Amino acid sequence: MNKDVVYIESEDDITDVIAKIEKAKEKIVAVVPPKKAGVFRSIVNIKLMAKAGAAAGKTVVIVTVDPSITKLAAATRLPVAKNLQSAPVVPAMDVPVGEPGGQPEVLVAPEETEAEAEPGAEKPDNTEEGETSVDDANGATDKTSDAIVPDEDEDKEEKDDDEGNKKSDEKKESEKDKKSKTDKDEKKSHNWFKNHKKTTIIGAICMVLLTGFLVWAFVFAPKVDITVAIKTESKNFSEGITLMEDPAKEKAAEGIFYLEQRKYDSTQEVSFQATGTKNLGEKARGELIVYTYFKDSGTVAIPAGSIFTINGLNFTSDANVTLSWPGPEKDVDLEQCENNTKGSAMQYGCLISGKVTVTASNGGTQYNVGKSDSWTTTANVLVRSETPMTGGTDNTMTVVQQSDVNAAQAQITASKEAENKKSLYETIGDDEYIIESTFTQTTSAAQVTPGVDEEVKAGVTPSLKVTTTASVYIISKTKLEEFIRKKAALEEGQKIYQINNIYLESLVRTDGGYTARLKAQYYVGANLTDDDVVKESMGKGLGEVKTILKSKSSSITDVEVKASYPWVNSVPNDKNKISVTIEVKDQDGNKVEKDSGKTETKNDNTEKAEEKTDEKKDSNSSS
């Protein structure tokens, strides 16, 4: 009958033995104890093995000659075999197996029926020759009549076999021990992990966390913030410069700067009220007599459009008229004509005369005047009318007059100047300097609807539309600051930190440009950059950094070094982990603010500057 052989290691515990029994595939399981009895020294363990075999439907046989194990097997009625080739028996409880007087029991294999065989019954077919049937150790009964007792010859043969097999087994066990040494260590390690699984996992997690923390704490966490306080000294700058409107003439390094004009155009439209009136009736017409006295021979010309006035009413001549003297008449005193005045010209017959047709300047019945000698004229003649002016009629309407247009245009100029100025300045960048005093605003010719002296019909509101142009001159602020930095007097180891209050003084127009005095306020202190601080600090102790930086200049008043964590006592060698702040303060300890980018001009209102501004305005108006 087939059987499974299970070798027990000295470090195996009872759970390992039971597990091996349960994993066996055959019904008979031969358990071979180690040289050191181990778990086989306990009656409880032997009972557990017997119970596990019964539960699994297997017959457990202990292969041993150790009398102590045999005695424990007898107590639990567990079969014992001296070797793998001998028949298993249940040893007697009082006498060990193999000892004289001992009566081993014959066991029936689990496959056989438990009923007693009747006399003459045949042996079951499933019992193979050369194998001994055994009964379950937990359920077998003592059947001495059917027991198979080995005789002395069999014992002798078994002893010979045992001696030969013993040497072979010892050799095999030695080789097995060597081969399984590594397996034993692995099993031992596996068993320890199995018994301490939770502790091992927790320990591994803690080790990972600790390693991660140490890496973070000493590699990533160390950072340093360095704050350097520099006390600056305020100084004033003053230098004459030239401003040119031709960019090709600019030489910023020599104080010659390009003066650029910026413009902003906007169109505004405003409605206004017409206050003028005009009589649009028919115009009166008539004929005037013009005359003069003789002085020299020749002619007197009266051009068309000449004005003739009576009682404040104007008439204009319709055509050109020429007066000529035809010659002295009889009884004419030429001498008197030469010396006479206009008042006595008629008395001496020295007159020359003609007729002129005229038309009233406006319609209206008031121009229908009668004949009169009270006419005056811009021509060098005397005037009188011998017939009245007629044909004038009344038709008075509201019209746009020039004063209405002027008032509306002034309203636009006043209301839009601030808005246009703001819009213009918004187009100028922070790096451009505005010369405030050059700001001007001009307007184009007004477009009036209806036009001047035109009728404003009912429901129509007159409107005025003009285009305004705001302009101002600018200079590159960057170039001005570069010029100041170049010309400013600095001591060794100093630099300019900020430049404030740039303005031009005494701006005067010259041929092709202007002259002015550039003034500003600047702050000087130790020439120390962020890179300098980083370079001096990397890898040094926190206290050492303070000493090194403060020794570089007397204007460095304070150095503060803050580490990210208490265990950080030196500056990292990685510049990305060093933060530098340079605080620049004035003599009073106030922080020096940076330029706003657009410094307003502060011009002296000198006579020359005013003259220049007036000239500029006149120039813009002309253009």
pLDDT, one tens digit per residue, over 248-261 is 999 999 999 999 99
- pLDDT at residue 533 greater than cutoff 60: yes
**If DSSP states are collapsed to H, E and C, what string results for 343-354?**
HHHHHHCCEEEE
Percentage of residues of the chain with pLDDT beyond 70: 72
**If DSSP states are collapsed to H, E and C, what string results for 494-508?**
EEEEEEEEEEEEEEE
Binned at pLDDT 50, 70 and 90, residue 138 comes out as very low
Binned at pLDDT 50, 70 and 90, residue 164 comes out as low
Tokens 């004033």 sit on residue: 236
Pick 310 or 599 by higher pLDDT.
Answer: 310
- pLDDT at residue 43 greater than cutoff 80: yes
Q: How far apart are the C-alpha atoms of 50 and 17, rounded to whole Å? A: 11
470-477 average pLDDT score: 92
Closest CA to 428 of 471, 388, 479: 471
Q: How far apart are the C-alpha atoms of 47 and 58, rounded to whole Å? A: 14
45-67 average pLDDT score: 89
- pLDDT at residue 150 greater than cutoff 50: no
For residues 244 and 256, the answer to whether their CB atoms sit within 8 Å is: yes
- pLDDT at residue 50 greater than cutoff 80: yes
Pick 483 or 593 by higher pLDDT.
Answer: 483
34-43, 166-175, 576-585: which has the minimum mean pLDDT?
Answer: 166-175
Burial of 37 (0-12, 13-18, 19+ CB in 10 A): middle
Q: How confident is the model over 426-447, as pLDDT tens digits?
A: 999 888 999 988 899 888 877 8
Q: Locate the DSSP E strands across 477-534.
A: 494-510, 513-526
Neighbouring C-beta atoms of residue 309, cutoff 10 Å: 15
Question: What pLDDT score does 332 carry?
Answer: 58
Pick 327 or 273 by higher pLDDT.
Answer: 273
3-state secondary structure of 582: strand
19-31 average pLDDT score: 89
Region of 24 (left: φ > 0; alpha: ψ -120 to 50; beta: rest) is: beta
Please report, for residues 406, 409, 467, the alpha-carbon distance to residue 414 in angstroms, rounded to integers and kept in the order given.
12, 9, 14
Please report, for residues 110, 327, 331, the alpha-carbon distance to residue 337 in angstroms, rounded to integers and kept in the order given.
185, 12, 12
Q: How confident is the model over 595-618, as pLDDT tens digits?
A: 433 333 344 333 333 444 444 444
Binned at pLDDT 50, 70 and 90, residue 288 comes out as very high
Q: How far apart are the C-alpha atoms of 474 and 437, rounded to whole Å? A: 11
Q: Which helix (H) or strand (E) holds 153?
A: helix 152-195
Mean pLDDT, the chain, as a whole number?
76
Closest CA to 30 of 70, 65, 54, 2: 2
- pLDDT at residue 237 greater than cutoff 90: yes
Closest CA to 41 of 12, 85, 72, 74: 72
The Cα diameter of the chain in Å comes to 214
Is the whole model's pTM more than 0.95, yes or no? no
Question: What pLDDT score does 446 carry?
Answer: 79
User: How does 208-227 read in b/e, with b if 16+ C-beta sit within 10 Å?
Assistant: eeeeeeeeeeeeebbbbebe
Q: How do beta strands 321-324 and 299-302 pair?
A: antiparallel
355-371 average pLDDT score: 92
Domain boundaries, the chain: 3-150, 233-263+478-585, 265-272+400-473, 284-394
483-500 average pLDDT score: 88
Pick 95 or 495 by higher pLDDT.
Answer: 495
Percentage of residues of the chain with pLDDT beyond 90: 18
Q: Which residues pair with 294 in a beta bridge?
A: none
Q: Which are the contacts of 44, defined by CB distance < 8 A and separation ≥ 6? A: none
Q: How far apart are the C-alpha atoms of 30 and 61, rounded to whole Å? A: 5
Pick 379 or 153 by higher pLDDT.
Answer: 379
Question: What pLDDT score does 3 carry?
Answer: 85
Helices 67-76/43-55 angle, 10° precision = 50
3-state secondary structure of 316: strand
Q: Which are the contacts of 398, defined by CB distance < 8 A and separation ≥ 6? A: 274, 276, 277, 455, 456
Tokens 């020295």 sit on residue: 350
286-307 average pLDDT score: 80
Helices 14-23/43-55 angle, 10° precision = 20
6-26 average pLDDT score: 87
Q: How confident is the model over 364-405, as pLDDT tens digits?
A: 999 999 999 889 988 878 898 989 999 999 888 888 888 888
